[in-house]
Amino acid sequence: MFLNRIYYGIAYVIVLIWEIIKSTIDTAIRSAKGGKTIDPVVIDIKTDLTRPISQTLLANSITLTPGTLTIDVDSENQVLKVAIIAPRDVKDVIPFEPYIKKMLE
Protein backbone atom coordinates (compact mmCIF):
# COMPACT_ATOMS: atom_id res chain seq x y z
CA MET A 1 0.00 0.00 0.00
CA PHE A 2 2.68 2.49 1.02
CA LEU A 3 4.89 1.61 -1.97
CA ASN A 4 1.94 2.14 -4.32
CA ARG A 5 1.48 5.64 -2.92
CA ILE A 6 5.18 6.40 -3.45
CA TYR A 7 4.99 5.06 -7.01
CA TYR A 8 1.98 7.24 -7.83
CA GLY A 9 3.63 10.22 -6.13
CA ILE A 10 6.67 9.88 -8.40
CA ALA A 11 4.44 9.35 -11.44
CA TYR A 12 2.43 12.47 -10.48
CA VAL A 13 5.56 14.63 -10.34
CA ILE A 14 6.75 13.36 -13.74
CA VAL A 15 3.34 13.94 -15.37
CA LEU A 16 3.09 17.40 -13.76
CA ILE A 17 6.51 18.42 -15.10
CA TRP A 18 5.63 17.10 -18.56
CA GLU A 19 2.31 19.00 -18.55
CA ILE A 20 4.06 22.21 -17.44
CA ILE A 21 6.50 21.90 -20.35
CA LYS A 22 3.70 21.23 -22.87
CA SER A 23 1.59 24.10 -21.52
CA THR A 24 4.54 26.49 -21.59
CA ILE A 25 5.13 25.77 -25.27
CA ASP A 26 1.42 26.01 -26.11
CA THR A 27 0.99 29.29 -24.24
CA ALA A 28 4.11 30.78 -25.85
CA ILE A 29 2.85 29.89 -29.33
CA ARG A 30 -0.62 31.25 -28.61
CA SER A 31 0.88 34.48 -27.20
CA ALA A 32 3.11 34.93 -30.25
CA LYS A 33 0.22 34.38 -32.67
CA GLY A 34 -2.28 36.39 -30.64
CA GLY A 35 -5.67 37.16 -32.13
CA LYS A 36 -8.14 34.30 -32.34
CA THR A 37 -5.85 31.72 -30.74
CA ILE A 38 -6.51 33.27 -27.32
CA ASP A 39 -10.12 32.84 -26.22
CA PRO A 40 -10.23 32.84 -22.40
CA VAL A 41 -13.06 30.90 -20.79
CA VAL A 42 -14.02 29.84 -17.27
CA ILE A 43 -15.17 26.24 -16.85
CA ASP A 44 -16.42 24.13 -13.97
CA ILE A 45 -14.60 20.83 -13.54
CA LYS A 46 -16.25 18.06 -11.54
CA THR A 47 -13.57 16.04 -9.78
CA ASP A 48 -13.62 12.54 -8.33
CA LEU A 49 -11.42 13.63 -5.42
CA THR A 50 -13.19 13.70 -2.06
CA ARG A 51 -10.50 14.82 0.39
CA PRO A 52 -9.83 18.57 0.66
CA ILE A 53 -6.05 18.00 0.53
CA SER A 54 -6.42 16.12 -2.75
CA GLN A 55 -8.61 18.85 -4.20
CA THR A 56 -6.12 21.51 -3.09
CA LEU A 57 -3.22 19.64 -4.68
CA LEU A 58 -5.18 19.34 -7.93
CA ALA A 59 -6.09 23.04 -7.84
CA ASN A 60 -2.46 24.03 -7.27
CA SER A 61 -1.29 21.69 -10.04
CA ILE A 62 -3.73 23.32 -12.45
CA THR A 63 -2.49 26.77 -11.45
CA LEU A 64 1.15 25.73 -11.94
CA THR A 65 0.56 24.89 -15.60
CA PRO A 66 0.75 28.00 -17.81
CA GLY A 67 -2.51 29.08 -19.43
CA THR A 68 -4.70 27.83 -16.56
CA LEU A 69 -5.73 29.28 -13.23
CA THR A 70 -7.92 27.76 -10.52
CA ILE A 71 -10.33 30.44 -9.35
CA ASP A 72 -12.40 28.54 -6.79
CA VAL A 73 -12.54 25.16 -5.07
CA ASP A 74 -15.93 23.92 -3.88
CA SER A 75 -14.96 20.99 -1.65
CA GLU A 76 -18.52 19.98 -0.76
CA ASN A 77 -19.67 19.63 -4.38
CA GLN A 78 -16.23 18.53 -5.64
CA VAL A 79 -16.11 21.25 -8.29
CA LEU A 80 -13.18 23.40 -9.39
CA LYS A 81 -13.74 26.66 -11.27
CA VAL A 82 -10.86 27.06 -13.70
CA ALA A 83 -9.93 29.87 -16.11
CA ILE A 84 -8.16 28.65 -19.25
CA ILE A 85 -6.56 30.56 -22.08
CA ALA A 86 -8.44 28.66 -24.81
CA PRO A 87 -11.26 26.11 -24.78
CA ARG A 88 -10.09 22.51 -24.41
CA ASP A 89 -11.28 19.17 -23.11
CA VAL A 90 -11.59 18.78 -19.34
CA LYS A 91 -9.24 15.76 -19.34
CA ASP A 92 -6.57 17.96 -20.96
CA VAL A 93 -6.83 20.38 -18.03
CA ILE A 94 -6.57 17.73 -15.28
CA PRO A 95 -4.45 14.84 -16.63
CA PHE A 96 -2.85 14.30 -13.21
CA GLU A 97 -6.10 13.69 -11.28
CA PRO A 98 -5.82 9.86 -11.38
CA TYR A 99 -2.31 10.02 -9.90
CA ILE A 100 -3.44 12.30 -7.08
CA LYS A 101 -6.39 10.00 -6.39
CA LYS A 102 -4.23 6.91 -6.09
CA MET A 103 -1.59 8.77 -4.10
CA LEU A 104 -3.81 10.47 -1.48
CA GLU A 105 -7.29 8.91 -1.45
Distance CA(94)–CA(26), nearest Å, equals 16
pTM here is 0.92
Using one digit for the tens of pLDDT, what is the confidence trace for 14-39?
999 999 999 999 999 998 988 788 88
Confidence class for position 1, pLDDT limits 50, 70, 90: confident
Q: Domain of 52?
A: 2-104
pLDDT at 36: 83
Give me the percent of the chain exceeding a pLDDT of 90: 83
pLDDT at 37: 85
Q: How many domains does the chain have?
A: 1
Q: Is 17 exposed, middle or buried (0-12, 13-18, 19+ CB in 10 A)?
A: exposed
